[in-house]
Amino acid sequence: MAASDRRPPRTPAGGRTKADQWREQRKREDRAARWAAVSFLVAIVASLALFVVYISGGQAQLEGLTLFIAFGAVGVGLAIWVRVIVGPEEIVEDRYPMRSEDADRDAFEELYQSTMGEVTVGGRRRFLLRLLTGAGLSLGLALLIPIRSLGPGPRNELFRTEWGEGVRVVDEEGEPLRPEDISPDQVVTVFPEGATGSADSQAVLVGLRKDVPTDLRQPTVEGIVVYSKICTHAGCPVGLYRAAVGELLCPCHQSTFGVYDGAEVLSGPAGRPLPQLPIEVDREGYLVAISDFRVPVGPSFWNLTRGDGA
Ligand code: FES
């Protein structure tokens, strides 16, 4: 069969000329291009609105809504562009002589003449690409927002608490404690004097039994140990004490710490012992700290062993 015999039929469908079909297709694409452009513009406006809402104080619901609209509008614009303008189907066309038939050439000329001055296909693509770039840039600007939320670095705050040399150990009412106030197996939540309620300085004081051997990391007095009350796993208060076995228990994920073994982790997800507070008795007979905790309290972090916190 000759190559020219394999050409697709050229008869106009439904009485419409080839130029009519092309014109309709062109109108469909123009309509789609307009909707895609509107979607990208909505994405730009929503992204800028997100930015403005954030820098003027922030409002979680509004930020979520504008972010949703921005991403959604970009998605809708791209979907329209790809499905209608580019087209989803793959078309394979048989080869045939390159020269168009006279009827096609006439139809194209008619179409070209009738659309002179309209936006060209290349111009439309450029226009949509610019809008898409604008939407991407404004979304990128909005996505930089979380950097601002990081705030200033913690500096040395993670390495310090309110404890320090000579600071008295007080109970939750702010009453200073003496060794004779504490009996074996007794547990008291304690704070540094003047900082009752301080979240990172809260500690648990335990009276030890004299008949149980100890393996402690810091100086202690008269069978009394003081450990940070903040779990080294995820920061819950370690509030339960099983006196019979000498274990402090964190209720969040069941980490257990051996009170007689320097709060070593006995089980559970905690990765290191509870920091122990070095204590002594001052001249008036009250329990005082010798220094701050010698390792940071609470969950581990990336430079936990930095400097004198090691
Ligand atoms: S916070 Fe204590 S075990 Fe997880």
Q: What pLDDT tens digit does each residue of the chain (310 aa) get?
A: 444 444 444 555 556 677 777 778 778 888 888 898 999 999 999 999 988 888 888 888 998 999 999 999 999 999 888 877 776 667 777 776 677 778 888 888 877 777 655 556 567 778 888 888 988 888 888 778 777 777 777 677 788 899 999 999 999 999 999 999 999 999 999 999 999 999 999 999 999 998 888 888 777 788 999 999 999 999 999 989 999 999 999 999 999 999 999 999 999 999 999 999 999 999 999 999 999 999 999 998 776 766 444 3
214/198 Cα distance (integer angstroms): 29
Q: Is the CB of 19 under 6 A from ligand 1?
A: no
* The model scores a pTM over 0.85: no
Q: Is the CB of 231 under 6 A from ligand 1?
A: yes
Residues 182 and 115 in one domain: no
Q: Is the CB of 265 under 6 A from ligand 1?
A: no
Residues 98 and 161 in one domain: no
Q: Is the CB of 126 under 6 A from ligand 1?
A: no
Residues 129 and 166 in one domain: no
Q: Is the CB of 234 under 6 A from ligand 1?
A: yes
For 90, the domain range is 3-149
Q: Which of 103, 133, 149 is the last residue of a domain?
A: 149
Residues 161 and 53 in one domain: no
Q: Which atom of ligand 1 is nearest to the CA of 254?
A: 3
Q: Which of 149, 170, 187 is the last residue of a domain?
A: 149
CA of 305 relative to ligand 1 center, distance in Å: 21
H-run or E-run covering 26: helix 18-55
Residues 208 and 277 in one domain: yes
Alpha-carbon distances, residue 229 vs 87, 218, 297 (angstroms)? 64, 16, 9
Nearest to 67 by CA among 128, 141, 131, 3: 141
